[in-house]
């Protein structure tokens, strides 16, 4: 569907008076952007003598970011399909998965601030910001779909899970912003 097409086509449809794509697929795209930025930072770190001691950790983060990016891309299209099918369960599961992946991948950002290529420190911050936006945007889509759910126990379980993940991702946000800012202010890196 969209993921094999052009970005222009996707954005044109997103802007148009069409029922889909909408916020859910935009959240997935935003997550994919964050994952891609993490991959970029890793790729500019691997093979550099200065970062040799952390190369295995960086490779693990790279693998995680690549898997996440591919899944976010799939979720972009799956969200459109879920909306078009009018299936409440699918419409709920897609943004819920976006939240989970964004939360999980965002945990790599504080580590990447410390062990990644310092010349790309602002990109680590941008990656985190994209993952944060993906999480919050997808959460809104989960919340709107939960309004129509009759299973109160499941509804409460999902809300409990997302409240916990949101609190954790907020704490990571503080840590990443502080650490990225410190490195940039130090200005002990070369462009």
Domain boundaries, the chain: 21-186
113 and 183 Cβ atoms separated by less than 8 Å: yes
Tokens of 128: 């985190």
Q: How confident is the model at residue 112 (pLDDT cuts 50, 70, 90)?
A: very high
Tokens of 71: 């899944």
Whole-number average pLDDT of the chain: 94
CATH topology of domain 21-186: 1.20.120
Q: How confident is the model at residue 148 (pLDDT cuts 50, 70, 90)?
A: confident
Predicted TM-score of the model (pTM): 0.94
């Amino acid at each position: 569907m969209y993921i094999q097409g052009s970005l222009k086509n996707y954005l044109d449809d997103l802007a148009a008076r069409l029922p889909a794509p909408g916020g859910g697929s935009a959240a997935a795209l935003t997550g994919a952007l964050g994952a891609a930025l993490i991959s970029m930072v890793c790729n500019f770190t691997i093979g550099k003598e200065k970062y040799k001691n952390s190369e295995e950790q960086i490779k693990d983060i790279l693998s995680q970011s690549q898997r996440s990016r591919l899944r976010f891309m799939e979720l972009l299209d799956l969200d459109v399909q879920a909306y078009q099918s009018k299936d409440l369960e699918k419409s709920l599961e897609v943004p819920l998965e976006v939240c989970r992946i964004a939360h999980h991948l965002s945990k790599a950002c504080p580590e990447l601030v410390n062990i990644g290529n310092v010349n790309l420190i602002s990109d680590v911050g941008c990656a985190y910001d994209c993952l944060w936006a993906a999480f919050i945007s997808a959460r809104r889509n989960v919340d709107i779909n939960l309004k129509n759910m009759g299973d109160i126990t499941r509804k409460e379980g999902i809300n409990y899970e997302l409240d916990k993940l949101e609190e954790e991702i907020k704490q990571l946000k503080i840590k990443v912003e502080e650490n990225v800012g410190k490195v940039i202010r130090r200005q002990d890196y070369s462009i």
